Every structure is written in C-alpha cells, then in structure tokens.
C-alpha cells in the first residue's frame, strides 16, 4: 500500500496472474530424465557433484550474471593508451563469474585431468546444465576440452601446457601462460575464401630452422573466424610445403612478448552475444608444429569430433531450459478459467516439446558414453557415425523447439526481459559451428561408406528395442531398406534424420516411461507433420508434462 489512495485503487499497480521467476533451484535435481540417464550410462558417482553444480547455476545471482554477460557484449581493445598494439578483449565482470563457475566445475578438462569410468558422461551433463544459465561461455570451454587429444600428439608441447589446461582455476589475466594459474584454448580454421573447405586455406607457415614436429614456425595469413580470441593459445591450420598443418599459437611468445595475432574486429553475431568471435591476421606470428607437416586436417578433425559432441550437448541443454521455462509459465498463468498447463491444447503442446527435449537428451548422453569408452571398437564406430548425425538433427530440432516454447509465453516471451529471446538466438550457432547441416550429413554418408562397421554398431544399439513397439520396428525396417539402396549425396539429410530418429525411438522405448515412448513413436515414426502440439489422440500428455516440469523446492 502507498499513501496515495488513487494509486492504490488503480488496477495496473496490482500485479497478478504472472508467474514467479524460475530461479533458486537445482537445475540437475529439477530434471528427472537427466538424472536417470546419467546413472544408467555409468556416472552415478557424479550425482552429488552435478547437484551442487545445478544449485550454483540455478541461483538468482547466477541467472543475473547470464543476463548481464549478454547485455554487455565483449569489446575489442586494439591499442593501449600509448598507442601500442594490444589486441585484447574486454569482458563484463559477469562473464568472468560464469567462466569461473564452468572452469571450477571442470567442464573444460575434467575427463582428461581425472579420467575414470563415466567422466565424459558426467561432463556432458555439466555442459547441459551450464548452457541453461549462460551459453556463450561454452565456446572457450568446449575448445579447451577438444584440443587435449590433439595436443597429446605433440608430447613436448603437451607436457608444458596440459597442467595449466587441467587446472580448475580460471585466470582471466592477459599474460604469458607461465605466469598464470590456468589456461584456455581456442582454434582458428576457416578463412574468407574457404569456409568448410579447409584445403583451400591460404595461411602459410615457414620453419624458423629445420622444421618438423614441435619446432617453431612463422605464420602469415588470416582467419575469418577465430573462436574465443581471448584464450591463451590456439590451434590453427596453415599451409606448409607438405600441405595443411596444425600449429600451436600462444598469445605470448617464449620471450614474453605479445605474439603477432592482430584482432581486426569482433563478429556482430545473431546470438552468442556474451562470447567473442573474431577476424584475425597473423603478421609473422610465432607457433609450433603439432604432429607431422601435411597432417593438420586429420589432427584438427579429431578435435572437431569433441566440439561436435558439445554442439549436440549445448543444444540439448538449451532445449531443456526452453521447455522448463514454458512449463513453469503455463503452471502459473491462468486463462479462460484454468491454468494454461491444464488447457488441453496447451497440455498437448508442452508434452510434445518435452518429448523432443528428452529424446535429444537420451541421444546426447548415450553418445557421451561412446566418448567415455574410447578404444572399444564398437563404441568408436558408433561415435564415428552418430556424432555428426546427432549434431545435424538435434541442433536443427532445437531451433524449431525454441520458437514454439517462446510462443507459450506469448508477448512476455518475445521481450528481452525474458530469457526466451536469448535461448532462441543461441540455438542456430550449434547447428552452424563445426560444420553446418550438409557437411554433417555428408560426413555421416562417408562414415558409412568408408567404415561399414559404423552401421553395424548402430544396429547393435537398436537391436535391444526390437519388439518394444511395432511403430519403431516398422521405422527401422524402412531405414534398412534405405541403407540397402545405398543412398546418394542428395539423400544424405533424410538418411541422417532417420538414423537419429531410430536411435531416439530405441532409447525411449528401452528407458523412458511408456507415455513418452508411445508419444514419440506415434508421432515421429508414424507420419508426423513436424508441427509441435500435434500429438495424436490417446497420448498421456499430462504425465509427460509432469515429468518434464522443473521441480523447484519451496
């Protein structure tokens, strides 16, 4: 109440029928399906750690950090006050708070620093949780995670750098690595003229001596996209006499001088606003060869395999947050005499979104298990086929889901005060990053053609679900018919879609409640229109929504 009777009586000042903010909750314990998948796939030991991380991310303060980091994008500082080249990136303090959370939780390197069964699965769950609070920080964290296998190819570099990479201390200082308590890594592959065609790259590297693995080179050229330019070092691709080669480029040279990486501008992106992406030129920059000359593309493709996993994980986490926000809103917003969540059309829509998000999560966590079991021939084959397939399909479905979830909130969802526009803008980057749709689909086709055991690995994964649902059995039979016909490049997208749908159906039939498996098979595998909210009659939409609702303790 106020001292102004007129104001007290004015209805506009009485806020009602608005949901409370979704905050101060445990993102992990609020997600029943994720808890089940993490334990099932081999990381039950991480439940308490994941819950602790989920609580930290769900705090109102953390959610505000995510908003501030996006509302205050990074700034490029080309020169210092005296006119000397600086080429540094300045971030809002909220960015550093979020980075400290992610690095402190080991999302950047824990499976390498502390290997154990289930380590990659636990980390996958942390990626899904982290992006729900702030997705931009995933870029440098993912890059750092992905470079470790590539760096291990060059032991002299790895022995010096890996201890700093493994550190859980986030050190934001722009300083030589030897002076820091921890480090992060970025990458630079694509150029103006080449894009995904890395063999068209023109950046050149010249040895300072005899050359060879671990030896210093001078690098001249550019990168049209260099992710996370604030990192301490980068893996970049440059041409040598033997062809495209991989180099380790630090921000500072061994003598402590700033390396000649000239940041020309930061990209003005659709989303991912909190994170810096840059155009860079190398003016005789100093770097060391990683691996053999001419073998840079295979080296960096290995890194890309891990970053592609993270694209699927990131999209899955964003989908989960979009569904959680939509259900939370619908539970607290009334219209036409009842809460939105109880309106039949809305219940069906929310259930459909929840089915999509859980199907993606099941695939993503199963894929993480394949990374966890590197060296197992069947798991390696499964990973080779399903990593690009999952990135293709999950990331594309996430874009459509985000738009539909935003509509649940109506006009409230379309304004920037809501998290929904940020989620919506964030979705396409995972579909584009590390190879867009056609690149992924053609990679799937090449994997099947070059290593037929990849298809056998998928068949082995589908086999336990046989007989669990006739619609799944029929769909798998259609897939086998397509495989037998040896699909062409023009059919690569449809084939990739079918591979993931079959895997999603099999995992849900085996592991999800019957209501979710039934809804998935009745729609996605039986002539679905593709529009959310069109599940067929008879599905148990209410129980699906109840399972997906974020469980927020009072």
Q: What percent of the chain has pLDDT over 90?
A: 90
Q: Are strands 85-90 and 75-79 parallel, antiparallel or unpaired?
A: antiparallel
| Average pLDDT of the segment spanning 279-308 | 94
Confidence of residue 480 (pLDDT cuts 50, 70, 90): very high
Query: Is 6 a member of any domain?
Result: no
User: CA 541, CA 349: separation in Å to the nearest integer?
Assistant: 9
Amino acid 4: pLDDT = 63
Residue 527: is its pLDDT beyond 50? yes
User: Which CATH number characterizes residue 461's domain?
Assistant: 1.20.140.10
Mean confidence (pLDDT) of the chain: 95
304 pLDDT exceeds 50?
A: yes
Q: Residue 11: is its pLDDT beyond 80? A: no
β-pairing, 216-227 vs 185-188, is: antiparallel
On whether both 269 and 305 belong to a single domain, the answer is no
**pLDDT the model gives residue 2:** 58
Among 135, 166, 197, give the residue marking a domain's end. Answer: 166
DSSP one-letter code for 245: E
Choose one of 166, 200, 221: the last residue of a domain. Answer: 166
Q: What is the mean pLDDT of residues 260-268?
A: 96
Q: Which of helix, strand or coil describes residue 233?
A: strand
Give a yes or no: residue 3 inside a domain. Answer: no
- Domain containing 249 — which CATH number? 2.40.110.20
β-partners of residue 245 are: 238
pLDDT of 349-402, one tens digit each?
A: 999 999 999 999 999 999 999 999 999 999 999 999 999 999 999 999 999 999
Q: Do 36 and 74 share a domain, yes or no?
A: yes
Q: What is the mean pLDDT of residues 108-126?
A: 98
With respect to residue 379, please indicate whether it lies within any of the assigned structural domains: yes
Inside any domain, residue 361: yes
315 and 442 fall within a common domain: yes
> Residue 554: its pLDDT value, please?
47
Q: How far apart are CA 512 and CA 483, in angstroms?
A: 27
Tens-digit pLDDT profile for residues 487-522: 999 999 999 999 999 999 999 999 999 999 999 999
Tell the burial category of 451 from Cβ atoms under 10 Å away from its Cβ (0-12, 13-18, 19+).
Answer: middle
Distance CA(279)–CA(78), nearest Å, equals 12
Decide if pLDDT at 58 tops 50: yes
pLDDT tens for each residue of 66-106: 999 999 999 999 999 999 989 999 999 999 999 999 999 99
With bands split at pLDDT 50, 70 and 90, how would you rate the model's confidence at 197? Answer: confident
| Banded pLDDT at 5 (limits 50, 70, 90) | low
- On whether the CB atoms of residues 330 and 548 are closer than 8 A, the answer is no
DSSP string, 122-139: HHHHHHHHHHHH-STTHH
* Residues 205 and 68 grouped into a single domain: no
Last residue of one domain, picked from the residues 105, 139, 166 = 166
The pLDDT, as a whole number, for residue 201 is: 86
Total domains present in the chain: 3
Report pLDDT digits (tens) over 14-46: 889 999 999 999 999 999 999 999 999 999 999
Decide if pLDDT at 411 tops 60: yes
What integer pLDDT is reported at residue 7 of this predicted model?
A: 60
Judge whether 156 lies within some domain.
yes
Supply the pLDDT for residue 8. Answer: 59
Domain range for residue 281?
A: 177-295
Nearest Cα neighbor of 409 from 339, 527, 328, 491 is 328
268 and 321 part of one domain: no
> Alpha-carbon torsion 124, 126, 127, 129, what sign?
positive
Q: pLDDT exceeding 70 applies to what percent of the chain?
A: 97
pLDDT at residue 553 greater than cutoff 70: no
Q: Does residue 539 form part of some domain?
A: yes
Please state whether beta strands 338-339 and 334-335 pair in parallel, antiparallel, or not at all (unpaired): antiparallel
* Digit-coded pLDDT (tens) for 131-144: 999 999 999 999 99
Mean pLDDT of 414-439: 94
């Amino acid at each position: 109440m106020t001292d102004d009777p007129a104001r007290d009586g004015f209805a506009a000042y009485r806020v009602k029928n608005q949901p409370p903010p979704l905050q101060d909750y445990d993102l992990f314990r609020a997600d029943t399906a994720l808890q089940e998948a993490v334990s099932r796939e081999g990381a039950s030991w991480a439940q308490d750690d994941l819950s602790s991380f989920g609580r930290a991310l769900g705090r109102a303060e953390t959610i505000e950090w995510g908003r501030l980091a996006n509302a205050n994008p990074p700034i490029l500082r080309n020169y210092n006050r005296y006119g000397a080249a600086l080429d540094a990136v300045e971030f809002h303090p909220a960015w550093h708070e979020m980075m400290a959370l992610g690095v402190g939780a080991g999302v950047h390197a824990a499976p390498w620093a502390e290997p154990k069964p289930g380590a990659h699965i636990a980390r996958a769950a942390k990626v899904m949780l982290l992006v729900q609070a702030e997705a931009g920080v995933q870029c440098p964290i993912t890059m750092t995670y992905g470079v470790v296998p590539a760096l291990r190819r060059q032991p002299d570099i790895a022995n010096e750098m890996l201890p700093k990479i493994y550190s859980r201390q986030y050190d934001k200082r722009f300083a030589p690595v030897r002076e820091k308590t921890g480090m992060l890594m970025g990458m630079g592959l694509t150029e103006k003229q080449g894009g995904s065609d890395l063999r068209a790259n023109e950046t050149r590297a010249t040895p300072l001596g005899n050359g060879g693995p671990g030896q210093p080179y001078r690098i001249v050229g550019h990168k049209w996209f260099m992710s996370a330019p604030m990192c301490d070092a980068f893996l970049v691709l440059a041409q040598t006499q033997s062809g495209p080669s991989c180099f380790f480029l630090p921000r500072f040279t061994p003598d402590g001088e700033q390396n000649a990486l000239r940041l020309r501008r930061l990209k003005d992106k659709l989303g991912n606003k909190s994170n810096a992406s840059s155009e860079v030129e190398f003016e005789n920059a100093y770097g060391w060869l990683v691996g053999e000359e001419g073998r840079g593309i295979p080296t960096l493709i290995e890194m890309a395999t891990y970053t592609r996993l993270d694209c699927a994980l990131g999209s899955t986490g964003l989908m989960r947050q979009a569904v959680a926000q939509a259900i939370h809103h619908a539970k607290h917003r009334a219209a036409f005499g009842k809460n939105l969540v109880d309106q039949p059309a809305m219940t069906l829509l929310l259930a459909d979104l929840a089915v999509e998000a859980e199907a993606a999560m099941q695939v993503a966590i199963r894929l993480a298990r394949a990374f966890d079991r590197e060296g197992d021939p069947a798991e390696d084959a499964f990973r080779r086929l399903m990593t690009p397939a999952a990135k293709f399909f999950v990331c594309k479905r996430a874009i459509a889901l985000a738009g539909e979830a935003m509509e649940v909130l109506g006009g409230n969802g379309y304004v920037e005060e809501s998290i929904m526009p940020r989620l919506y803008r964030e979705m396409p980057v995972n579909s584009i990053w590390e190879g867009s749709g056609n690149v992924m689909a053609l990679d799937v086709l090449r994997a099947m053609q070059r290593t037929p055991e990849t298809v056998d690995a998928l068949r082995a994964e589908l086999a336990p679900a046989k007989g669990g649902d006739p619609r799944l059995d029929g769909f798998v039979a259609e897939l086998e018919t397509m495989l037998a016909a040896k699909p062409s490049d023009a059919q690569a997208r449809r084939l990739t879609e079918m591979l993931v749908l079959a895997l999603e159906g099999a995992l849900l039939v085996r592991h999800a409640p019957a209501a979710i498996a039934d809804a998935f098979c009745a729609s996605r595998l039986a002539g679905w229109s593709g529009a959310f909210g069109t599940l067929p009659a008879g599905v148990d939409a209410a129980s699906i929504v109840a399972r997906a609702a974020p469980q927020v303790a009072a």
